[in-house]
Chain A
């Protein structure tokens, strides 16, 4: 009986050891999130080592008359996208145009497991003003480029450029949105319109 127990213990030990090694191999490398690029290392963990993404989480509201855009962002860690692990900002938004609700995906922020399937997602951290900056961008400031998906249309995904600001003592975002149409356009080049505007420039969001 004692012999059997010992054998069982050994089997259990080996199994745990194997699993531990397996996990070690699955995340054999931890790299800074900035290392993500065109070519990436399978199963590596691209970590937000400086917790930059944390600065952008929360619920943010832009209002202009009867039109408003509310954005909710949360940070998820070690999300496996099928190739590698990554820390990620995900979220949703509520777009109201002239008093009419056009899109509401805020619940995406409450469901971290959807990862890159969220309507807002990304972890592209800039420290320069190279691409679609807001009008007061300063070289060296940390800013984000996320993707914003128009869930009511098939094909429209845009750049969501986020710059952190303090306005009247409140935490704020200054944002540029440039929508794009990523599917093959028709031969005559005429693209369908997204539900969100094609462009929104230098709009200010206040943290809620």
Chain B
């Protein structure tokens, strides 16, 4: 009986051990980058900090025998050449990437460097390895493969460069016991750089242990430049500015991840498959730094996340606890807006550095930061006939020549589907829309326009909220703009209107709202007064251009003592 119990205990420990082993070998679903990349708290790592950080990590890895290796290989060992430490200019941020060439105890035709950068107070330190498959006569890179590994050799990310463009991303698919395939991390420093990962099963255990029962397939996914509004045509180069220091990695309308990486090289993406160029080592560094900035934070050797981050059990990565552009302050233990930004009352940090009037003027400017909208407005003015539908054009924030500016949608002016409806886009980089109200429609904004403004404002990145606008171009050179002053107030009023309206569903409720609004517009002898009477307290400001060239604007408000009168405050 005693022996039986003992056997059960041994079996129990064994099963527990195997479970732990399997658990450690099956971390995450996919190596992915966060949707939002915030550059506001990216800082340079000094040489001293870099050396100290690396040495501290090295000791931890050695003590815990965490260096991953194939069976029979010695644990991964890095020997940095600290004489090569340097700071590199990179895209999107004023911070510099600290690098040092390092030897790795693996054979192969590759070059490795240690990368260091400080993000939100945390030093990111990875091994960057490049296999230069084809270079031109000057040594510039034509084709190459690049890999990112953690200091213990754990695979983090990998890309293929073709004709000077980051075209593909490595994707590792590991099948466990012929069950449903899923994604797991790849733990090995890939010294050969080839695609032969067939004996991965023998690599999964630190220090060359063995774990049978796994097979691995390696594939690549395209970093496409397609999509309804891909940055391929609009990301016109790497750059950064003090006021617009972020980029979105993927998703509609934000510029794709491909645009983000290739934008950091300064090489424009080939449109329609054309193009073809080379990359200098500086351009590669800039692009790979962009990749590093986009990488999620990994838990440390103890499996813990840094302060201000929390372990995401699904991804196995560390997610920031702060949102809305806030950064965790380790001293106060609070999420706070970065310097120069303010909480908009909705938990989002927004840039209040420019006024509504300044942002209106910027739309007219034809300089490096202006949008030069007058020619577009003039073109829209030719589409106001009685039989014309609405026409519209959407604007988004984008990098152009190293500056952030609001540029028109690459599809230009679009014909709306009816005389009362045109397209507007919303999403992280969309900041506004201009549309016509043709003859025989009301020359001012409708309730639906207010809701559109709310959606654009709510959808755009915090740094762009000051830029958000909706413009109506109407006959007789009438041009109005609405801007958001208080998004909470706008949301509250829109929601209350729907809540208090009559109808079986939102569709019918909104129809009733529009009917009631239209009745007042129909009876109105002063449409501006009527608009302000209905919507003036919706957390928005109404502006009207004084002249056809849109040089001067008046802010329109109802007179406090006589709401039949309008106060006009010049923007100057």
| CB closest residue in chain B, given A84 | B502
Question: What residues of B have a CB within 8 angstroms of the CB of A116 in the complex?
Answer: 502-503, 508, 512
B153 in the interface (beta carbon within 8 A)? no
A145-B518, A157-B511 known; A201 and B387 CB under 8 Å? yes
Question: What residues of B have a CB within 8 angstroms of the CB of A40 in the complex?
Answer: 516
A55 in the interface (beta carbon within 8 A)? no
State which of A16-24, A100-108, A124-132, A167-175 sits at the interface with chain B.
Answer: A124-132
Interface of A, helix, strand, loop or mixed by DSSP:
loop
Question: What residues of A have a CB within 8 angstroms of the CB of B451 in the complex?
Answer: 184
Distance of A116 Cα from B516 Cα, bound (Å): 14
Query: Which residue of A38, A128, A188, A191 contacts B421 across the interface (Cβ within 8 Å)?
Result: A191
- Give the shortest distance, in Å, between B147 (CB) and chain A (any CB): 35
Contact B442 A131 (CB under 8 A): yes
- Give the shortest distance, in Å, between A34 (CB) and chain B (any CB): 8
Question: What residues of A have a CB within 8 angstroms of the CB of B521 in the complex?
Answer: 130-131
Question: What residues of B have a CB within 8 angstroms of the CB of A122 in the complex?
Answer: 515
Contact A189 B425 (CB under 8 A): yes
Question: What residues of A have a CB within 8 angstroms of the CB of B514 in the complex?
Answer: 180, 182
Contact B516 A199 (CB under 8 A): no
Contact B421 A181 (CB under 8 A): yes
Question: What residues of B have a CB within 8 angstroms of the CB of A36 in the complex?
Answer: 516, 519
Contact A147 B515 (CB under 8 A): yes
Contact B253 A132 (CB under 8 A): no
Question: What residues of B have a CB within 8 angstroms of the CB of A199 in the complex?
Answer: 389, 418-419
| CB closest residue in chain A, given B414 | A189
Residues 138 to 175 of chain A near chain B (Cβ within 8 Å) = 145, 147, 149, 154-155, 157, 159
Contact B455 A184 (CB under 8 A): yes
Distance of A151 Cα from B298 Cα, bound (Å): 52
Distance of A157 Cα from B417 Cα, bound (Å): 14
Most buried by A among B420, B427, B448, B455: B420
Question: What residues of A have a CB within 8 angstroms of the CB of B506 in the complex?
Answer: 182-183
Interface size on A, residues (CB 8 A): 43
A37-B520, A132-B441 known; A185 and B424 CB under 8 Å? yes
B228 in the interface (beta carbon within 8 A)? yes
Contact A83 B516 (CB under 8 A): no
Distance of A188 Cα from B425 Cα, bound (Å): 5
Distance of A181 Cα from B69 Cα, bound (Å): 59
- Give the shortest distance, in Å, between B246 (CB) and chain A (any CB): 19
Query: Which residue of B440, B503, B504, B515 contacts A132 across the interface (Cβ within 8 Å)?
Result: B440
Most buried by B among A117, A184, A187: A187
Distance of A190 Cα from B426 Cα, bound (Å): 11
Contact A187 B515 (CB under 8 A): no
Query: Which residue of A147, A184, A188, A191 contacts B252 across the interface (Cβ within 8 Å)?
Result: A188
A82 in the interface (beta carbon within 8 A)? yes
A97 in the interface (beta carbon within 8 A)? no
- Give the shortest distance, in Å, between B129 (CB) and chain A (any CB): 38
Residues 99 to 123 of chain A near chain B (Cβ within 8 Å) = 116-117, 122
Query: Which residue of A38, A82, A117, A201 contacts B517 across the interface (Cβ within 8 Å)?
Result: A38
A83-B502, A184-B455 known; A128 and B440 CB under 8 Å? no
Question: What residues of B have a CB within 8 angstroms of the CB of A184 in the complex?
Answer: 451, 455
Contact B511 A183 (CB under 8 A): no
Query: Which residue of A37, A83, A155, A201 contacts B519 across the interface (Cβ within 8 Å)?
Result: A37
* Complex A-B: 6 CB contacts under 8 Å: A38-B517, A38-B519, A124-B519, A130-B522, A149-B507, A199-B418
Ranked nearest first, the 7 interchain pairs of A and B with the lowest CB-CB distance are A189-B423, A182-B510, A157-B511, A178-B418, A37-B520, A37-B519, A38-B516
Interface positions of B (Cβ within 8 A of A): 228-229, 252-253, 386-387, 389, 394, 417-421, 423-427, 430, 440-442, 448, 451, 455, 459, 502-508, 510-512, 514-523, 534
